[in-house]
Amino acid sequence: KGWAMVHSSVVTSLQSLRTALSKIVGEEVEIIITDSTRTEEENLRLGKTYGWIEEGGKVSKDSRHLDKYGGIAVDFYARTKANRTIIPSKLVGEVATKFFDFVKSDYEDGHTHADNRNQIN
């Protein structure tokens, strides 16, 4: 809260994704970021709330969202700008694989996780 750190490759990938999705759906698309870089403390809080992946939960103890990775991960939704219609995460995930190193889009709440893990400096 109060700050955001996003690797420049993520900005480029998100813009490319937005452009591609806009062409597919035939109208302007916007990306709504719900999570980006996390501190260790925030990741611990989320792990306690949602459980650790390593134990069957939803949060990785070594999440690519952690600030030590330099802002390479983002969670988001895509929606049409005019009507704010959410674009199905399956489609978002399929298109996102063209622009990100890793994509996961099968979350119950419909968000997509994407990261550029090969961009870590």
Q: Which two tokens stand for residue 75?
A: 């969670």
Mean pLDDT of the chain: 94
Taking residues 54-81, what's their average pLDDT?
94
- Identity at 56, one-letter amino acid code: G
Lookup result for tokens 């996961």: 104
pTM score, whole prediction = 0.91
Residue 5 pLDDT grade (very low, low, confident, very high; cuts 50, 70, 90):
confident
Among 91, 84, 82, 81, smallest CA distance to 112 is for 91
